[in-house]
Chains A and B, each alone.
Chain A
């Protein structure tokens, strides 16, 4: 009985507390770096597109709002021919970022992307690709992957020995 009255009293006392609300458009809330907002595609330290078009983000997306087509350029690097995110479906769960093996797809602390026309929420690769590395610095998939691309031959990745001479039987 007393506790009930006490809790009513305690709640009543909140009348005089400070408001926790940010009056949003006038005052912006500080967002942490790990905030899951707008999705971007980043570039590796050398300026190349990080996305290799592996389709894992699309596969893991619970609302299937990512669609892309992988292709290969003349240097042997894979990249997405198109990369489309339908933000009118996106739930910002961040699974795509978790699934991405190359740190290409990242969710950034920006949520101000409302549109009057739903069609404008469909983002293409031009809208997604930024010219920086995003949250994760220094990673370049092709430096560790065994695939040869122009400028990085077989055996030149990290922790790789030079290609084997098949014609030699020496130990």
Chain B
């Protein structure tokens, strides 16, 4: 088997998997939310309501693909693609199991950070191109939020990098063979998780789309599959952040040997996805200014402190 063929299989495998998981998550989230709200959630279409996703997909594909006459058409079409593309690109560096990863990049972590920064464009451009006051307000909020939280998202990971001495994701996982980084880098984990929530603008940090204030924020004007792309992009984001948490802090594919490594990886990932959903079910949305001051005044100093202490320990050790 040639190396090219292997990579083609892996790349298509990852894309297919992710594109299946993302819609699957929609069903998963609805069921979980329902569970925590004492309801059933979608349970009528197919077994356990699984086909609900399919029904929704069919519906969304057949909806009128409306571009408002006042919108900037090119940018309007481009924006939803960016979010999906950047999220999928990020998966390139995720090591699912020994040898199963699209690219064993030596600057893997930096690549992820770069991609997540690019992802911010989708939201900003989408809101801007809609030429609608709610969309614009949403995208402005998104710009500020993502800019702020990206700063210490990177910083919070530096502890892990320092402990490993590499940006390569494979190396980071291998460095956790005996001890997961959650133990030395607990603060780093907490900050990364919060920043990750903010990056994917999930509840409780869904300020850019806050339904009760901005209708749907930056994607107010979107319909049909363009809206669907934003939607899928969000679930891709959740999966991505969860899989990174697993990779960076919870030992990646490592686990007791009665299960294959890739299963361990996905198991851990789904626990974090569920945690994301639990957070959505339980926490209220903070005010916009609260979000920013929380980021700049608490999380940034905390991540710097974490970096300082980690560095000090490494130096002293």
Q: Could you tell me which A residues sit within 8 Å of B by CB distance?
A: 4, 7-8, 10-12, 14-15, 17-21, 23
Residue in chain B with minimal CB distance to A14? B36
- Alpha-carbon separation in the docked complex, A7 to B37 (Å): 13
Q: Mark B204-217, 1 if CB is under 8 A from A, else 0.
A: 00000000000000
Residue in chain B with minimal CB distance to A12? B278
Residues of B within 8 A of A10 (CB): 282
- Alpha-carbon separation in the docked complex, A12 to B279 (Å): 9
Given contacts A14-B38, A19-B39, A23-B40, 17 further A-B contacts (CB under 8 A): A8-B278, A8-B283, A10-B282, A11-B36, A11-B281, A11-B282, A12-B36, A12-B282, A14-B36, A14-B37, A15-B35, A15-B36, A18-B38, A19-B38, A20-B38, A21-B38, A21-B40
Residues of B within 8 A of A23 (CB): 40
Please report which residues of chain B, range 15-71, place their CB below 8 angstroms from some CB of chain A when the two chains form the complex: 35-40
Majority secondary structure of chain A interface residues (helix, strand, loop or mixed): helix
Residue in chain A with minimal CB distance to B40? A21
Residue in chain A with minimal CB distance to B41? A21
Q: How many pairs of residues, A versus B, come closer than 8 Å at their CB atoms?
A: 32
- Alpha-carbon separation in the docked complex, A7 to B278 (Å): 10
Residues of A within 8 A of B36 (CB): 11-12, 14-15
- Alpha-carbon separation in the docked complex, A98 to B282 (Å): 40
How far does the Cβ of B52 sit from chain A's closest Cβ, in whole Å?
15
Q: Mark B272-299, 1 if CB is under 8 A from A, else 0.
A: 0000001101110000000000000000
- Alpha-carbon separation in the docked complex, A8 to B36 (Å): 10
- Alpha-carbon separation in the docked complex, A19 to B283 (Å): 21
Please report which residues of chain B, range 226-281, place their CB below 8 angstroms from some CB of chain A when the two chains form the complex: 278-279, 281
How far does the Cβ of B127 sit from chain A's closest Cβ, in whole Å?
29
Residues of B within 8 A of A8 (CB): 278-279, 282-283
Could you jot down 8 A-B contacts, CB within 8 Å? Answer: A4-B283, A7-B282, A8-B279, A10-B282, A11-B36, A14-B36, A15-B36, A19-B40
Number of interface residues of B (CB under 8 A): 11
Residue in chain B with minimal CB distance to A10? B282
Residues of A within 8 A of B278 (CB): 8, 11-12
- Alpha-carbon separation in the docked complex, A20 to B36 (Å): 11
- Alpha-carbon separation in the docked complex, A23 to B40 (Å): 9
- Alpha-carbon separation in the docked complex, A14 to B281 (Å): 11
- Alpha-carbon separation in the docked complex, A97 to B281 (Å): 39
How far does the Cβ of A11 sit from chain B's closest Cβ, in whole Å?
4
Asked if A21 and B279 sit within 8 Å, CB to CB, the answer is no
Residue in chain A with minimal CB distance to B38? A20
- Alpha-carbon separation in the docked complex, A7 to B282 (Å): 6
- Alpha-carbon separation in the docked complex, A7 to B36 (Å): 12
Residues of A within 8 A of B37 (CB): 14
Whether A14 touches B283, Cβ cut-off 8 Å, given contacts A8-B278, A19-B40, A21-B40, is: no
- Alpha-carbon separation in the docked complex, A10 to B278 (Å): 10
Q: Among A4, A7, A12, A17, which residue has its beta carbon within 8 angstroms of that of B38?
A: A17
How far does the Cβ of A27 sit from chain B's closest Cβ, in whole Å?
12
Asked if A21 and B39 sit within 8 Å, CB to CB, the answer is yes
How far does the Cβ of B37 sit from chain A's closest Cβ, in whole Å?
7
Residue in chain B with minimal CB distance to A5? B282
Residue in chain B with minimal CB distance to A15? B35
Residue in chain B with minimal CB distance to A17? B38
How far does the Cβ of B156 sit from chain A's closest Cβ, in whole Å?
18
Residues of B within 8 A of A11 (CB): 36, 278, 281-282
- Alpha-carbon separation in the docked complex, A4 to B38 (Å): 20
Residue in chain B with minimal CB distance to A8? B282
How far does the Cβ of A49 sit from chain B's closest Cβ, in whole Å?
42
Residues of B within 8 A of A20 (CB): 38-39
- Alpha-carbon separation in the docked complex, A102 to B2 (Å): 87
Asked if B39 and A7 sit within 8 Å, CB to CB, the answer is no
